[in-house]
Structure 1
């Protein structure tokens, strides 16, 4: 049997040249180790990250003493394995150099049996400054490599294979560090070990799935072994293998009768199979490796059609509209992300009716547990490789380093049914053509720079994929809605960011719908409870230095304020501004998502930027750093619902479009009512309709004057409901004027609070129309079954509050806010 000895205890660290060693945490990072030892202030509080940036220019040393027993040393082979070293490191064991590393994203191994001894051993790691090392590569470079987001005059990030956002991004600070960021351990084995197993469906029908297991073995010496493949407790196939020293690949084919398919969220169960590979020597089990995987097909369909070239995913033969978000790491420092955080975030996606996340290329390849959760939840993953918003070199050393990086991560992730597509980079091709990079590079070097781009993304990465995962689709860059011409809406995936410009209205979302919208977004401020974690009351002003530092993007505050004042009345105080900013974000994304879904099947995907935050800030996220939902996260359950009502009105007509992502036809009742803020029905309409699977269809068109003549629209709302056998499929409220023009009454909300096993039950009643009822809670990490909702006159609503850190919340912990409460008196 393989024996594993984790080396996560007894670590100490110091700045190179210092005498004193300080306790360290592994996995960890130098910044968090300095923080826990009181050597730097909390970089997330106010602007204290500025006092931590000196760390990037220093070299650091980490050391660990560990004990090895005789039983471990009797193993034929012993490897020292680092799942992640950040980034440039020299590793020695008992004063003997064993490893040099240069890439945060790679797994690093060294055979160390001959260097180990019974009893105490000493592991020493010398980390070189990634900035200083990057500067050495920069001085040798023959080209200028633009890197827009790097917050430094000297752009070294293109040369350093580590997390790009840590060099500074528009939504986070610059904190470049180093450390042992993923597990480190000794692996000892006799005879042979199973390195990797690749499960490849060769052919799948309703009756049977023929599957091939590609097994990479590493032998300690020549000999004979027996390999077998198991499904649960049943052996499916096996073969005898002649082992040799080193790596070798074996294949075993097996059959699963009447296979159950893996389906994305909303279309069926994400069924997973546990397949085990066992290697035995002389009738005893040497090792068992178990893989959880699913049986499904995913195709990226790009075919000429009436509008250009399609861009959609076909899963198990069915075209699927992708609904979801762009994923950024849940913490600036990866080792701090807990399994509970991962689960809460993926559960939030599933509950919001998402079926895809895009793992963005400016971060890192996620933890295995993230992909396991996506497998279980039916969340497909668009996986970027870790290149973003910069040009990159393509010399032999760099390309070989990248090859190993891609190989390591593709082999690690390829069994996950959630992985739908590999993508070479984020916005590099767009930046080359449209961000002024060619002027920065210089005319004589532009061709060479583009040749290097093609060498990396059109040759090197595809060659690795062809060898290790040829079945999945690959795109060199996102967006891909252009080749050498301007971005256009008739092919590829599209990033829409024109909204950030000064004179662009919210309605631009409706006229800029591509074939697949893989990025678009709108900023908002996090909950006041979150702001209190990183700011003082004196900072509670959007224009304060602290608020701007935690907002980051030039023009971000102006974007929010400009659109907010077009839709809402001026907020009376800071809390009202924060609340309205979230409503504005939700309205912006609602406009975009409805336009995308309404355009189905021409548009077949809508992934907003971004799901979450890596530090506490005002950003494009729907869930803030501390896990608090913004308005958009509550509303997405409706915006991404399987059946969606999309009302619209112009000077001539009222129109209602209904979009269905259901795989079956529905027979439903459509009810439309014009209601004033006192609850009086002014006009109504009712009809039966039959809606086919996967369609977007106009189901209601009426002259607007017939519905609004002699009606004061400042006091009126259109209520639309779609039901099937008394079951509510979709519901929507529509206003004919901006919210700032509505004459909202005092809703006189009455609230009752009752402790229950899961948290607090809240019963709300209102006598008048209530716009965007927000229930806030002063207790950290409180979520609600619903929030930021409208209430019709006389309506009663039950809301559950879930408290992560306490079992019961006092009534005084809650407060209720509506749009009317934000008005200046």
Structure 2
């Protein structure tokens, strides 16, 4: 790979480097140590010259010429993005879409000896700007016209991501030799009838070679002992068959049952010769979306195998901005972090990509449902050519590719585009130009009706039923899906209480990355909210101001950067717990919560609960507790008991209004019986909910090892003991056991172990303790510095912020 044009620095412009395929220019130059790591310090800003650069990949291919009856194709699974391909000195074609594959017939270009193959990548930004001039500028939230090119939108920067604008052969490339016919696509659609019969409908599309179009071929479909044939006669290019499986093993989301997967094989034959083969796995289940009108508006409930599912979800962005560094192990670790947090759905957000096969395979295996956005986000999109054909091609290909996966539950037209059209002052800017409605209301649903009628489709997140958003606002909490961003942008996390959405598919609160991740990505002098490097890793407009406003609503003003870091992380955790408790506590009116967001793609201050290095923020622990099948939550003067488990929950809740020093001012025992997949709201006696001294008392509810606490004033007014705990640290397998004992009420006790060991893992966090109570934290670490884990910078609580202030 070498530079081919643009403002490339001299030391790089003249330097050909080995190229990894799959790979990108950024990763190749990083491997060659010719550029600094864009994730560190202010390096991102030093690499903006990439935006206008051009690059040339080149190699040679030695391959035998094609036989008379043989076809040879050069196949690119993914090119990022504006590419021109030459083979044997002849241009095969040009591409402008990273979301699809390309296939070129090269049988007439093969010869003896080495054949040169090259791919030139030109500036995606230049292309988008030029196309924008032709089609007309469309509204978008960021300067670069990411909506005028079919490239990952967040390649151009986002309010949590870097602006790197990658280029390269980002997916595998291969030569395919075949004869007579090949399987162009196979679409297995597996569903489950109410009587338990599995229904597998397999569609095949076949491409014929030049000398094979007049021959009959047979596609044999095999599922265990079940075999069926699709006979394609002369001139036929597609067919289907159906296999019925009595008493089929049902696939369920996590928490509802098992995830059995069944092998499916398709073999294409000409007489007795095998021509091509396809193998996949399916799971038998049926997924529908209940949008029944009711006295409130209309429901929005995901139903799997006849059972309504409360979605405990997380939004998913690309796990690494440099996509080619992702592999199955990286995906497995990230998805496991979601599963460990009691998540049952991941929403693949529309500013990213159609994810890799590994992602969907792992979700199939773990029982994690997938909500798949089409890749359109936060902007108006032209419906004219050449974009329309690109949308059609990428959608057709990826719908077909993803049909086998039982985890794939919902197709969604895009992110915030319908809402943007209504509320973000787009209409005067558009002045009658197309903006994407044709995609959301016509193109995508028509393709799904043709290719995948087994899954529900939603035109946009957020959106409401019908095609007239002026009649029912797309973010109306009584219908469809809602995004709640007023809380973060202008209010406080308690603002969530003003709305009871049918399904909340985005909401969240920011916090900086963990301390270790900051240390890895910033210099010590950059540990300051206003340092240029720290601000470069805070992409949200006014992000730090909003963080500080949020802290000021609840917590005392931090005394320095380290206290600020802990206060911001603690406030994110509380915001997460508050919003989820509110949403879950209003089931079945509300039937979905998808937090923004699970992950980060680089080290940054963001809404993620897992930072860009894969480390768990305190908010992840709050999320895990809030998404647990059983939850206690205070709402006003009531205790909400949430039971999203398959068994009834019976027990006796103990409620106490206690002073910080331990004396009990009021106490009540309440018998609790909550049916499976239900909630109960228990009104509390006034003596429990009316404090004698609001600054020194706490309301505590305990039931079966779960706890909820309610304070009667904000932290900055509470008379906390600033040093409320003692710690006993002892060796344990793999690390240490840290037993923390409270001498006064201690709120949100945490062990920030990564400050001592970047690889340390803590099994719990954010624990509330009454005087005399103890909690043991397990720390997995190789550090020999036992005492450090009990130090004041590591053993934190809300109380210690009061001490710092």
The TM-score, its normalising length taken from structure 2, stands at 0.92
Helix, strand or coil: the match of 1:627?
coil
Name the residue aligned to 1:426. Answer: 415
Structure 1 residue aligned with 2:92: 98
Count of residue pairs brought into register by the alignment: 783
Q: CA deviation at 1:137?
A: 1.2
Q: 1:785 to 1:706 in 2, by over 3 A?
A: closer
Runs of 4+ in structure 1 deviating by more than 6 angstroms, as ranges, are 72-75
Match of 1:639 among 626, 634, 645: 626
Q: Which residue of 2 aligns with 1:744?
A: 720
Of 780, 794, 806, which residue of structure 1 is paired with 2:772? 794
1:403 aligns with 2:392: yes
Q: Return the match for 1:81 from 75, 80, 87.
A: 75
The residue aligned with 1:448 is 433
Where does residue 382 of structure 1 map in the other structure? 371
Kept after mapping to 1: 8 A contact 2:656/2:688: no
Q: Distance in 2 between the 1:706 and 1:422 partners? A: 47
Q: 1:687 aligns with which of 666, 670, 674?
A: 670
| CA–CA distance in structure 1, aligned partners of residues 540 and 196 of structure 2 | 55
Aligned to 1:719: 700
Aligned to 1:349: 338
Partner of 1:783: 761
Q: Is residue 2:59 matched to residue 1:64?
A: yes
Offset from partner CA, 1:728-752 (integer Å, 9 cap, x none):
4x32222222222333332342232
The 8 Å contact of residues 226 and 238 in structure 1, kept in 2 or not, is answered as: no
1:489 equivalent in structure 2: 477
Equivalents in 1 of 2:750, 2:116: separation in Å? 56
Residues 282, 404 of structure 2: 8 Å contact kept: yes
2:598 to 611, 618, 634: 611
Residue 313 in structure 1 maps to residue 302 in structure 2: yes
3-state SS of paired residue (1:584): helix
The CA deviation at 1:429 is 1.6
User: 1:148 maps to what in 2?
Assistant: 141
Structure 2 partner of 1:543: 530
1:109 corresponds to 2:103? yes
Q: Give the C-alpha shift of residue 243 in structure 1.
A: 6.1
1:821 maps to: 800
2:194·2:305 contact (CA, 8 Å) conserved in 1? Answer: no
Instruction: Quote the residue 2:197 is aligned against.
Output: 208
1:3-402 correspondence to structure 2 within 5 Å: 12-16=1-5, 20-68=15-63, 76-141=70-135, 143-149=136-142, 152=143, 155-201=144-190, 204-220=193-209, 221=212, 222-231=214-223, 234-239=224-229, 241-242=231-232, 248-283=237-272, 285-402=274-391
- Structure 2 vs 1, CA of residues 434 and 706 (structure 1 numbering), >3 Å: closer, same or farther? closer
SS of 1:65's equivalent? strand
Does the C-alpha gap of structure 1 residues 484 and 523 become closer, same or farther in structure 2, counting only changes over 3 Å? same
Matches of 2:96 and 2:376 in 1, distance apart?
Answer: 16
TM-score, normalisation: structure 1: 0.90
Q: Does 1:534 align with 2:518?
A: no
Unaligned residue ranges in structure 1 (runs of 5+): 1-11
User: Counterpart of 1:658?
Assistant: 641
Deviates more, 1:605-614 or 1:678-687: 678-687
How far 1:219 moved relative to its partner?
Answer: 3.6
Q: Which runs of 5 or more structure 2 residues have no equivalent in the other structure?
A: 7-12
**1:813 Cα deviation (Å)?**
6.5
Looking at structure 2, the residues matched to 567 and 588 of structure 1 have their Cα atoms a distance apart, in angstroms, of: 11
Separation in 2, partners of 1:525, 1:325? 18
Tell me, in whole angstroms, the C-alpha distance in 1 between the residues paired with 2:155 and 2:230: 49
Does 2:595 align with 1:578? Answer: no
Residue 663 of structure 1: CA displacement?
3.5
Offset of residue 240 of structure 1? 6.5
Aligned-partner Cα distance in 1 for 2:711–2:272: 74
Q: How far, CA to CA, are the matches of 1:256 and 1:810 in structure 2?
A: 59
> Does structure 1 conserve the Cα–Cα contact (< 8 Å) formed by 2:232 and 2:239?
no
Alpha-carbon distance between aligned partners in 1 of 2:576 and 2:380, rounded to the nearest angstrom: 30
**RMSD (Å), alpha carbons:** 2.5
Q: Does 1:436 align with 2:429?
A: no
Q: How far off its partner does 1:575 sit?
A: 1.6
Q: 1:109: how far off?
A: 0.9
For residue 763 of structure 1, report the CA deviation from its aligned partner: 4.0
1:578 shift after superposition:
1.0
Instruction: Check conservation: 1:300, 1:311, Cα contact below 8 A.
Output: yes
Please report how far the alpha carbon of residue 335 of structure 1 lies from its aligned counterpart in structure 2 after TM superposition: 0.7
Task: Assess if the C-alpha contact under 8 Å between 2:724 and 2:743 holds in 1.
Answer: yes
Q: Distance in 2 between matches of 1:677 and 1:448?
A: 63
Q: CA deviation at 1:202?
A: 6.2
Is 1:229–1:235's contact at 8 Å kept on the other side of the alignment? no
Structure 1 segment 503-522 matched on structure 2, within 5 A:
504-522=491-509
Pair 180,801 (structure 1): closer, same or farther in 2 beyond 3 Å:
farther
Tell me, yes or no, if the aligned pair for 2:192 and 2:250 is still in contact at 8 Å. no
Q: Quick check: 1:458 aligned with 2:444?
A: no
- Once the two structures are overlaid, the 10-residue window that deviates more, 675-684 or 505-514, is 675-684
Q: Secondary structure at 2:57's aligned position in 1? A: strand
21-30 or 402-411: which moved more?
Answer: 21-30
Distance 1:267 1:213 in 2: 27
- In the TM superposition, what is the alpha-carbon distance from 1:331 to its structure 2 partner? 0.9
* Alpha-carbon distance, 1:707 to partner: 5.8
